[in-house]
């Protein structure tokens, strides 16, 4: 059976769904390339169509493609030869115009890796290019600043459920699969903005059934996640080090995902010294995973797995009983997985901790994810400005917390306003915690209203602070601070960690 993600890969830009703005920008970039001669970085989460868009663009423009993948090629000379030559040569077998499109996939993996010549080499090639180059990356900030500065930037957002469903519907029709509309919605919902996963899930379920129903989707979800819940129980509560390692062999998760699952759930049962020890092992595991990413040497996975399983089990002190509500890893914890983002995250968490009188761990695991959800894409501008002022956030920080592009005017103007706000008395002398999302309503004006009204006279009837959190271009979701105390099993792309206790407990 052919892979549907390949069969239904967009061949023209108009088939790239859910990122209209980015798509238009890409087209514009290509059409005006002769005038500006800049390369472009296309970045965003996995499976949202970045690489497909680059290929579709080449197709639309009639440009042959030359693709280079960071992990396939070893050594600076290879980069030089392929990207350099291709970039310089206007006469190679190009299209009618002599143009060809160079696609540098996994461009965030070149960074700091001597084997690949590091990012300096790439930056040089990219700067000197005589042909258009698209650099595709998941992690914008894993690329060096000079590389980022020498390129235009286009962000691909997670694909909204609303955009995913029609893609699935279309595939079903073309494959002759009968379906319940709701089943498609369920798939779209559970794949959190990743269109490739949605298509994969659709294919997996559709192959097992005559008519695709919601029940099929739910059953298949349960089958794939049941294993992990049993494993967490064994790891966290029951098995010794060796048993935990063995149990992990049966779990159908990548080490990266497994680490996220463990990291998010271990604090539900461990505390104090045992938790600190467990985190120590998890951060070792994380380092090994980083090494795998940097070198593509998968033999390091073993050390990562040893640490996250045997290490965590060995950290346990005393018996653990009872039933624990484990939950899937949050989008947020996945974000902390790379060095660049982790450093930014930790430095912001430290500032939050200081101001709020909370521990850094609480700031990182509880407060920051919450703020991130509330200021998603800076839509709640007023709140974002106040937050930036309260925690001294610069543009990179604001971009990190909100998910907005760092170089956007929006982020720059927020930081400017925050600087201004910092000089006003209100903030200087407040000394109050900025973050008070509990129900005490003691200083409602410090936190937020949904409107960017800029005045401070709203210490009124804020019974419940309702914040409108935009999900993406075409849909909106609302959340209230106190809603967050209620446990919610479903982790979606932009929701913070499932926090059983409610944030107010930590304040
Ligand atoms: N926006 C989209 N519109 C249509 N199909 C898409 C889109 N995004 C992803 N797909 C489907 O998912 C597959 C994988 O997409 P693609 O490889 O382009 O994603 P990506 O963002 O480059 O991910 P990665 O960073 O993991 O390479 C495509 O072949 C296509 O089937």
How many CB atoms within 10 Å of residue 466?
A: 16
Give kind and range of the element (H or E) at residue 136.
strand 133-137
pLDDT confidence tier of residue 73, bands split at 50, 70 and 90: very low
Same domain for 425 and 352?
Answer: yes
Which of 262, 297, 328 lies at the terminal end of a domain, its last residue? 328
DSSP 413: H
Please check whether residue 104 is in contact with residue 68, taking contact to mean a CB–CB distance below 8 angstroms. yes
Per-residue pLDDT, 12: 96
Mean pLDDT of 109-130: 66
How many angstroms separate the Cα of 335 from the Cα of each of 19, 26, 384, 402? 21, 25, 20, 12
* pLDDT over 90 (residue 29): yes
Burial of 457 (0-12, 13-18, 19+ CB in 10 A): exposed
Q: How far is the CA of 99 from the centre of ligand 1 (A)?
A: 24
Among 157-161, 186-190, 359-363, the range scoring the smallest mean pLDDT is: 359-363
Pairing state of beta strands 466-472 and 475-480?
antiparallel
Same domain for 188 and 243?
Answer: no
Same domain for 254 and 392?
Answer: no
Same domain for 350 and 419?
Answer: yes
> Atom 29 (ligand 1): residue with closest C-alpha?
9
Asked if residue 48 belongs to a known ligand binding site, the reply is yes
Q: How far is the CA of 351 from the centre of ligand 1 (A)?
A: 37
Residue 268's domain comprises 239-328
Which of 270, 299, 328 lies at the terminal end of a domain, its last residue? 328
pLDDT confidence tier of residue 335, bands split at 50, 70 and 90: low
Same domain for 49 and 131?
Answer: yes
Q: How far is the CA of 41 from the centre of ligand 1 (A)?
A: 16
Residues 6+ apart with CB under 8 A from 359: 353
Q: What percent of the chain has pLDDT over 70?
A: 71
Same domain for 188 and 140?
Answer: no
**Residue of 7, 104, 195 to mutate, ligand 1, most atoms within 8 A of C-beta:** 195
Same domain for 15 and 141?
Answer: yes
Please check whether residue 237 is in contact with residue 321, taking contact to mean a CB–CB distance below 8 angstroms. yes
- The enclosing domain of 213 has a CATH number of 1.10.8.60
Pair of tokens at residue 71: 């992990």
Same domain for 73 and 102?
Answer: yes
Pairing state of beta strands 133-137 and 211-212?
unpaired
- Which of 150 and 334 is assigned the larger pLDDT? 150
How many CB atoms within 10 Å of residue 191?
A: 24
pTM beyond 0.80, yes or no: no
Please check whether residue 129 is in contact with residue 115, taking contact to mean a CB–CB distance below 8 angstroms. no
Beta bridge partners of 216: none
* pLDDT over 60 (residue 406): yes
ipTM above 0.85, yes or no: yes
Mean pLDDT of 212-233: 78
Residue 141 lies in a domain: yes
Per-residue pLDDT, 56: 97
Can you give the three-state secondary structure of 300-358, one letter per residue?
A: HHHHHHHHHHHHHHHHCCCCCCCCCCCCCCCHHHHHCCCHHHHHHHHHHHHHHHHHHCC
Q: Is residue 153 helix, strand or coil?
A: strand
pLDDT confidence tier of residue 346, bands split at 50, 70 and 90: confident
Q: How many domains does the chain have?
A: 4
How many CB atoms within 10 Å of residue 455?
A: 9
Q: How far is the CA of 453 from the centre of ligand 1 (A)?
A: 39
Half-sphere exposure at residue 331, Cβ-oriented, CA atoms within 13 angstroms? 22
Pairing state of beta strands 39-44 and 133-137?
parallel
Among 200-204, 266-270, 277-281, 477-481, the range scoring the smallest mean pLDDT is: 477-481
**Residue of 43, 49, 154, 202 to mutate, ligand 1, most atoms within 8 A of C-beta:** 49
Same domain for 197 and 245?
Answer: no
Q: Is residue 151 helix, strand or coil?
A: strand
pLDDT confidence tier of residue 171, bands split at 50, 70 and 90: very high
Which of 374, 401, 430 lies at the terminal end of a domain, its last residue? 430
Residue 402 lies in a domain: yes
Asked if residue 50 belongs to a known ligand binding site, the reply is yes
**Residue 80 and residue 431: Cα distance in Å, rounded?**
54
Per-residue pLDDT, 466: 30
* pLDDT over 70 (residue 452): no
Same domain for 170 and 144?
Answer: no
State the sign of the Cα–Cα–Cα–Cα dihedral 185, 191, 193, 194. negative
Residue with tokens 């200087």: 428
Same domain for 138 and 166?
Answer: no
pLDDT confidence tier of residue 491, bands split at 50, 70 and 90: very low
Atom of ligand 1 nearest to the CA of 167: 4
pLDDT confidence tier of residue 268, bands split at 50, 70 and 90: confident
Atom of ligand 1 nearest to the CA of 105: 27
Asked if residue 237 belongs to a known ligand binding site, the reply is no
Q: How far is CA 103 from the centre of its chain?
A: 22
Pair of tokens at residue 422: 């910092």
Asked if residue 49 belongs to a known ligand binding site, the reply is yes
* pLDDT over 70 (residue 235): yes
Mean pLDDT of 164-184: 94
Residue 268 lies in a domain: yes
* pLDDT over 60 (residue 135): yes
DSSP 379: -
* pLDDT over 70 (residue 188): yes
Among 6-15, 359-368, 388-397, the range scoring the smallest mean pLDDT is: 359-368
* pLDDT over 90 (residue 19): yes
Select, from the ranges 131-145, 178-192, 285-299, the one with the highest average predicted confidence (pLDDT).
178-192
Residue 335 lies in a domain: no
Residue 18 lies in a domain: yes
Q: How far is the CA of 215 from the centre of ligand 1 (A)?
A: 27
**Residue 441 and residue 448: Cα distance in Å, rounded?**
11
pLDDT confidence tier of residue 332, bands split at 50, 70 and 90: low
Dihedral, CA of residue 267, residue 269, residue 273 and residue 279, to nearest 10: -40
Same domain for 375 and 418?
Answer: yes
Residue 442 lies in a domain: no
């Amino acid at each position: 059976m052919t892979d549907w993600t390949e069969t239904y890969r967009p061949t023209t830009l108009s088939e790239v769904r859910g990122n209209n703005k980015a798509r238009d920008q890409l087209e514009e970039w290509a059409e005006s390339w002769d005038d500006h001669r800049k390369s472009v970085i296309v970045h965003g989460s996995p499976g949202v169509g970045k690489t497909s868009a680059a290929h579709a663009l080449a197709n639309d423009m009639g440009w042959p493609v030359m693709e280079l993948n960071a992990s396939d090629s070893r050594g600076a000379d290879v980069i030089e030869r392929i990207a350099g030559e291709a970039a310089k040569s206007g006469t190679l077998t190009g299209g009618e115009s002599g143009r060809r499109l160079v696609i540098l996939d996994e461009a965030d993996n070149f960074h700091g890796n001597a084997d690949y010549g590091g990012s300096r080499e790439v930056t040089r090639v990219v700067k000197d290019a005589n042909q258009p180059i698209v650099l595709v990356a998941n992690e914008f900030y894993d690329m060096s600043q000079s590389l980022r500065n020498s390129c235009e930037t286009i962000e691909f957002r997670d694909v909204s459920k609303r955009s995913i469903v029609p893609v699935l519907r279309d595939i079903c029709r073309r494959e002759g699969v009968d379906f319940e509309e709701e089943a498609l919605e369920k798939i779209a919902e559970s794949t959190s903005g990743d269109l490739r996963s949605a298509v994969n899930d659709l294919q997996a379920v559709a192959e097992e059934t005559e008519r695709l129903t919601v029940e099929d989707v739910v059953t298949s979800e349960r089958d794939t996640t049941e294993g992990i819940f049993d494993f967490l129980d064994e790891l966290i509560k029951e098995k010794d080090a060796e048993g935990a390692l063995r149990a992990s062999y049966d779990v159908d998760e990548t080490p990266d995902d497994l680490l996220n699952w463990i990291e998010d759930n271990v604090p539900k049962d461990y505390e104090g010294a045992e938790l600190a020890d467990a985190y120590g092992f998890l951060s070792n595991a994380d380092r090994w995973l980083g090494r795998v990413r940097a070198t593509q040497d998968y033999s390091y996975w073993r050390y990562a797995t040893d640490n996250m399983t045997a290490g965590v089990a060995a950290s346990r002190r005393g018996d653990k009983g009872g039933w624990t509500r484990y939950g899937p890893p949050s989008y947020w914890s996945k974000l902390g997985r790379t060095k660049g983002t982790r450093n930014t995250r930790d430095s912001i968490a430290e500032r939050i901790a200081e101001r709020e009188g909370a521990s850094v761990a609480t700031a990182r695991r509880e407060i920051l994810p919450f703020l991130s959800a509330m200021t998603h894409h800076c839509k709640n501008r007023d709140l974002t400005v106040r937050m930036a002022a309260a925690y001294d956030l610069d543009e990179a920080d604001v971009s990190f917390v909100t998910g907005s592009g760092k170089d956007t005017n929006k982020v720059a103007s927020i930081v400017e306003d925050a600087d201004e706000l910092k000089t006003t008395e209100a903030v200087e002398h407040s000394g109050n915690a900025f973050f008070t999302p509990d129900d005490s309503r003691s200083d409602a004006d410090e936190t937020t209203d949904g409107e960017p009204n800029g005045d401070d006279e709203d210490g009124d009837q804020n019974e419940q602070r309702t914040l409108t959190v935009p999900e993406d271009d075409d849909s909106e979701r609302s959340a209230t601070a106190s809603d967050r105390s209620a446990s919610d099993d479903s982790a979606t792309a932009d929701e913070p960690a499932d926090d059983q206790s409610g944030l107010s407990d930590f304040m």
